[in-house]
Amino acid sequence: MATQISDHLEPWHNLNGKVVLVTGASAGLGKEFCLDLASAGCKIVAAARRVDRLKSLCEEINRMTVVGDGDGSPRAVAVELDITADGVTVDNCVQNAWDAFGHIDVLINNAGIRGAVKSPVDLTEEDWHKEFRTNLTGTWLVSKYVCKRMQLALQKGIVINISSIAGLNRGSLPGSASYSASKAGVNSLTKVIFFYLQLILTHWSSGV
């Protein structure tokens, strides 16, 4: 039986029909973002490296009944997106995400990792580059290619980057040199993208 969703959810009651791309959508915060935003009436492009892990999520969303959405078309689509891939690959994946509903209103850069817990002197170059490739470079690449398409479409949009308190000056997380530095980079990247593009951008710092 389909779940009936209220149209009085606060503060999400005015999001009906907005298209949201969520990276790292197969589990954790990413999955919850997809479910909550779908409940608010958004159309979801769920992205992750493993598309098979997104199948049940999209099926659950597509069973939802949202007041005011009666066209019967799918409201969630799964797209393969490995944010650690090269720029050309990420660009192609973003194009697939864009084509799913013809545009993207909101990007949530949620994909990220907490890697090796080691002191700064014990970290390897591989440890360092792995976290930066995922947390910072991947976030930049996805933002770059989504924002380019928004510009070409003469469309305003929203980019939300999921960061961490470890990336703030007050953050102190033992064994997190590369993680903290990469998340501090995400915070700075968010401000710079806003400066150049004047989109609505924000970063949200989770507890870890």
Cβ atoms of 131 and 174 closer than 8 Å:
no
Retrieve residue 193's tokens: 């993208």
Q: How many CB atoms lie within 10 A of CB 51?
A: 15
Residue 146 and residue 23 in contact, taking contact as beta carbons nearer than 8 Å: no
**Cα separation, 88 vs 143, whole angstroms:** 14
* Residues labelled as active-site residues: 179
* Beta-carbon contacts of residue 195 (< 8 Å; ≥ 6 apart): none
